[in-house]
Structure 1
């Protein structure tokens, strides 16, 4: 993996392919390994897979993390690669960082893709899911990590790689990321988004209710992939990648 210096530490990332830069932003704990099935997109795009600080191979660079702080990390990553504009894709809570990046750096976001994303935690069930994640990573990471790996794939070798990558994450940063995600909201700023927006959900994911929330505030495209819940990048990666291809070729302007 390549890396660049950031706030006294280093941010590690993988980079492959050429064309429109496409940055993938992972959710709490998972690191870049969750996007292994998106590497084939490097046949069309310049795929960039960072481990946010405190995740994967990237050490803790900021002891009190925030969604805005992670958005700044993405900007610093682009600076290190001398990239002016990029498409950004955030998966689950990683989508909060993608949205914050597009809002804070509108001139740098060529397109915004949210996979199983949301602008804020709205329902009691979704709040409980975040609180449960915080409890489990604090008290039972040995249970949470294999559960997350198993929920993302039936491939035992890939499960092992996901779990190994998650083991590298700083558990306090993981806990903070859940907490920051729970309390973040950009709903009132959605109308300020300038980048073309694509929403992607699984038909079995209760998070797809957020399509209505977004469309109240902003024009956007949406795609619902059948026979899958939350884990689009790993469980339905063929369809997921095809939708990304079509959207970026149509909408992304560098």
Structure 2
């Protein structure tokens, strides 16, 4: 694990694989940390890619920024991380909130994007109902901590059948949620409640795009992925069977096969 300073925050990250490999940045969602990507890191580095996985500010080992952190703040941290590593352009991908940070990175730092990977995420702006929900949840996490929330949403983060079928995966996901600092989670929720509409951003993307979704995703169903696919006609859409909101850990073999095929055929141009 390494770290650097972005603005007022120390951000921790892993940088694995060959230093001359194609750089791939993977951004976790809420309320997780960089270890969410462990199966993908192993698969991609074995294939010769350089994989960079940060802990977002407020999550994992990174510093907490209290109050409110906008998606643009997270995206600027990613740009600062690439600057720190001397990486000009990268494949950038994320799941859930991480996918929205990826879209924000495309909006604010488009020249640094080689390709986009959008997993189990959505592009429209937050609704009034969603803003109220996220702000109320932020208040709750600050008052009660993460344990009750984690127990309530585990069968939505994972497909319900995978909570029992994949006990080690469920334990890992629960552990990440429970260990997240409530202040960091609340700040991200308040910022995400004000997220902009990324549909115009997606419609203008010329770089290769991979859209992935679990077939049984509770939060961002297959229909949301299909909506994004219609915005980006050249995008590749993959639906991962037997998975919910986190197909990268629920079905890592299938998820990584799709990701590696996309990188090989759409990004590096190798057949």
1:32 is aligned, of 24, 34, 37, to 34
Measure how far apart 1:76 and its partner are.
0.7
- 1:210-233 Cα shifts (integer Å, max 9, x gaps): 233223432211011112221211
Residue equivalent to 2:201? 189
Q: Is the 8 A contact 1:15 1:48 kept in 2?
A: yes
- 1:69-106 Cα shifts (integer Å, max 9, x gaps): 10000011111111111111110111010011112111
Gap runs ≥5 in structure 2: none
Name the stretch that deviates more: 196-205 or 174-183: 174-183
Measure how far apart 1:47 and its partner are.
1.1
Residue equivalent to 1:244? 259
- 1:110-132 Cα shifts (integer Å, max 9, x gaps): 11001101102578997787577
Residue equivalent to 2:182? 171
Name the stretch that deviates more: 155-164 or 73-82: 155-164
Q: Are residues 1:200 and 2:212 paired?
A: yes
Q: Are residues 1:222 and 2:237 paired?
A: yes
Residue equivalent to 1:142? 147
Distance in structure 1 (CA, Å) of the matches to 2:207 and 2:248: 22
Q: Are residues 1:234 and 2:257 paired?
A: no
Distance 1:247 1:117, change over 3 A: same
Q: Is the 8 A contact 1:32 1:50 kept in 2?
A: yes
- C-alpha RMSD of matched pairs (Å): 2.8
Distance in structure 1 (CA, Å) of the matches to 2:206 and 2:107: 8
Residue equivalent to 1:117? 121
The TM-score with structure 1 as length reference comes to: 0.87
The TM-score with structure 2 as length reference comes to: 0.82
Aligned residues: 254
Gap runs ≥5 in structure 1: none
